[in-house]
Structure 1
């Protein structure tokens, strides 16, 4: 079996973390006897510099002809003053819209070996946590009407949040289906006491829940959810929420794990094709210094193996290899602890690849 992967390295540390993920994928594909055909494409600031657009037609054509996308990160101060339609971030938004990748899965797991890297108190992290945020990805305020104008009192701006019943139904089903495979609990996060979109969200989620009676459902306001994630993250299983709330919550959860560099994500629609990327940004200050944590991207590659290609054993071998490296106390600087062994991007990648083997779980 050969899988065609569009590789969008992007800007800043994007090329480094994607190279790390590809190194691990090379080892995995060798051990589990399948092939990966990499097809590098331009996105973000790098694409703008060479082609005058953050998402060239050539990139879109290659993505459509590939089985999935491995994405690094885009953006940086170099492009901050570009017009809105030319900003590097338009690349990832455009890819999501093109593939109708409306479902964003963002798992946040506390590794026992890294509990001292979490900012939470010991009595909280001792419980551990394993949360998956299911974020609606192609609707809401990020894709609503935007405008800036001169009003009577000066310059004005607005961004409009909007959701349809069908958009809420399909993301809710994704969350309930995922919960069926986990601990059978969904927490739907909204702001229904203030926002009309959230009132519709809550109504539709409640209706969809009727199709999944074996899954428990609770509703929670976004402000309370942010507090509860810090107070006791172990209470959550699957968190279902909108585009903007999911963006904020998943970043908060990432820091509770010890580092934003640890978290992967998968963006998918109704088919098998997806966009797999770490949740961190391009971090241009770390680019080229062998300092960035590549694990979020490596785990994203593992999610690609599982969700798009059905190579579940291979995906589990990546998770096992990462745990093994943590057990041996190898750390990048973002999660470094006093009793650990400090290593850079390339070395921790090599160590993870070295631990890839069959028969792990």
Structure 2
């Protein structure tokens, strides 16, 4: 049995609690001989700052680079609000993305039928929702230069962030979106602000040309980012794969996440280029929610997004889609039984702790493999 090297970064807040539930599942899968994992743990975020004075150490970055996949839970919290900007907890996540060249962020928004009533939208708008937002992750305004605050004197300052994209960056994220669409419902919606931003004009031109040249079989539409945000809450099931830049992807994916009822339900994947020699790609998997310091240590956090992130790792890094399907099916099975954590407890048959939810999902998984 092949053993995959997972580098695990529990991080801050509820991170260690939800990561413990993933470790239950990886240990069981290994013990049963279904798929083997070698687990190595590291520090990121505030936890790393407390020990190393940085948001992630060089040694842990090297371990992340050497792993078959990285699982990260959450970073940040008010404890570290006063630390210097370049070593703030979030800098660890940004360094992982940048140094590992993780340019493609996959954010699924799936509404389980059992949770349709937990959405802020009417059931008929979200029941059966299954869309994927593909966000460019290493370019755009978050990384563009110059990025600075200038003192103009007389009590005035000027803040500068630069939105910049090259053709190759747009093409490679576009290919990820078109390839995903071919495996789903064969539709891509590209989003930018070409009406007011030159980067949006180029984005639109490059995506259009890429589709005509390489993916003529895939349906393509363009929507301005603000209009798309409105459409997400008006008629979300019209979308299949949405591809957009770093800034708009950050915002639109959080909008899409709340359509499902809770941020605690949704995993994500951040992928690098495929190595042509090995066929593998560097990848980081994490839930989309934050560290939730207000509930940390109470054992009430929802581990479903973290467990779903493991399923995404099985699917996209290891080619084990059948096992990923069983994990996702186990999550759905637990929800169908009316079992909930506190964040999704409305109408629940039973409210479970973090560990109890992990145990319930593992029990469903055992049944699926019988």
Scaled to the shorter chain, the TM-score interval is over 0.9
The aligned runs of 1:87-126 (5 Å cut-off) are: 87-126=88-127
By how many angstroms is 1:125 displaced? Answer: 2.8
What corresponds to 2:176 in structure 1?
A: 174
Equivalent of 2:162 in 160, 183, 192: 160
Equivalent of 1:197 in 199, 203, 213: 199
Which secondary structure state, in structure 2, belongs to the residue aligned with residue 227 of structure 1? helix
Comparing 336-345 and 128-137, the one that deviates more: 336-345
Equivalent of 1:265 in 257, 268, 291: 268
Q: Distance in 2 between matches of 1:198 and 1:8?
A: 35
Equivalent of 2:188 in 186, 189, 195: 186
What corresponds to 2:149 in structure 1?
A: 148
What residue ranges of structure 2 are gaps of 5+ in the alignment?
275-280
Q: Distance in 2 between matches of 1:114 and 1:340?
A: 13
Structure 1 length normalisation: TM-score? 0.97
Q: Does 1:349 align with 2:358?
A: yes
What corresponds to 1:277 in structure 2?
A: 286
Q: Distance in 1 between matches of 2:29 and 2:217?
A: 36
Count of matched residue positions in the alignment of Structure 1 and Structure 2 = 359
Does the 8 Å contact 1:72/1:278 carry over to 2? yes
By how many angstroms is 1:111 displaced? Answer: 0.5
Which secondary structure state, in structure 2, belongs to the residue aligned with residue 273 of structure 1? strand
User: Could you say what the CA RMSD is over the residues aligned between the two structures, in angstroms?
Assistant: 1.3
The aligned runs of 1:242-321 (5 Å cut-off) are: 242-271=245-274, 272-321=281-330
Q: Distance in 1 between matches of 2:243 and 2:223?
A: 10
Q: Distance in 1 between matches of 2:61 and 2:348?
A: 46
Structure 2 length normalisation: TM-score? 0.94
Does the 8 Å contact 2:299/2:355 carry over to 1? yes
Does the 8 Å contact 1:111/1:257 carry over to 2? yes
Q: Does 1:213 align with 2:216?
A: yes
Q: Distance in 1 between matches of 2:349 and 2:141?
A: 43
What corresponds to 2:59 in structure 1?
A: 58
Q: Distance in 2 between matches of 1:63 and 1:318?
A: 24
Which secondary structure state, in structure 1, belongs to the residue aligned with residue 323 of structure 2? helix
By how many angstroms is 1:28 displaced? Answer: 3.0
* Cα deviations by residue, 1:240-281 (Å, 9 ceiling, x for unpaired): 001111111111111110100101001011133210000111
* Cα deviations by residue, 1:218-241 (Å, 9 ceiling, x for unpaired): 000111111100001100000000
Higher RCO (CA < 8 A, seq sep 6+): 1
Does the 8 Å contact 1:28/1:356 carry over to 2? no
Which secondary structure state, in structure 2, belongs to the residue aligned with residue 162 of structure 1? coil
Which secondary structure state, in structure 2, belongs to the residue aligned with residue 284 of structure 1? coil
What corresponds to 2:341 in structure 1?
A: 332
Q: Distance in 2 between matches of 1:291 and 1:339?
A: 15
Q: Distance in 1 between matches of 2:76 and 2:153?
A: 35
Does the 8 Å contact 2:118/2:261 carry over to 1? yes
Q: Distance in 2 between matches of 1:101 and 1:340?
A: 40
What residue ranges of structure 1 are gaps of 5+ in the alignment?
none
By how many angstroms is 1:30 displaced? Answer: 3.5
* Cα deviations by residue, 1:293-315 (Å, 9 ceiling, x for unpaired): 11011000011011111122211
Which secondary structure state, in structure 2, belongs to the residue aligned with residue 104 of structure 1? strand
Which secondary structure state, in structure 2, belongs to the residue aligned with residue 105 of structure 1? strand
By how many angstroms is 1:338 displaced? Answer: 2.2
Q: Do the aligned partners of residues 22 and 339 (structure 1) sit closer, same or farther apart at CA in structure 2, a change above 3 Å counting?
A: closer
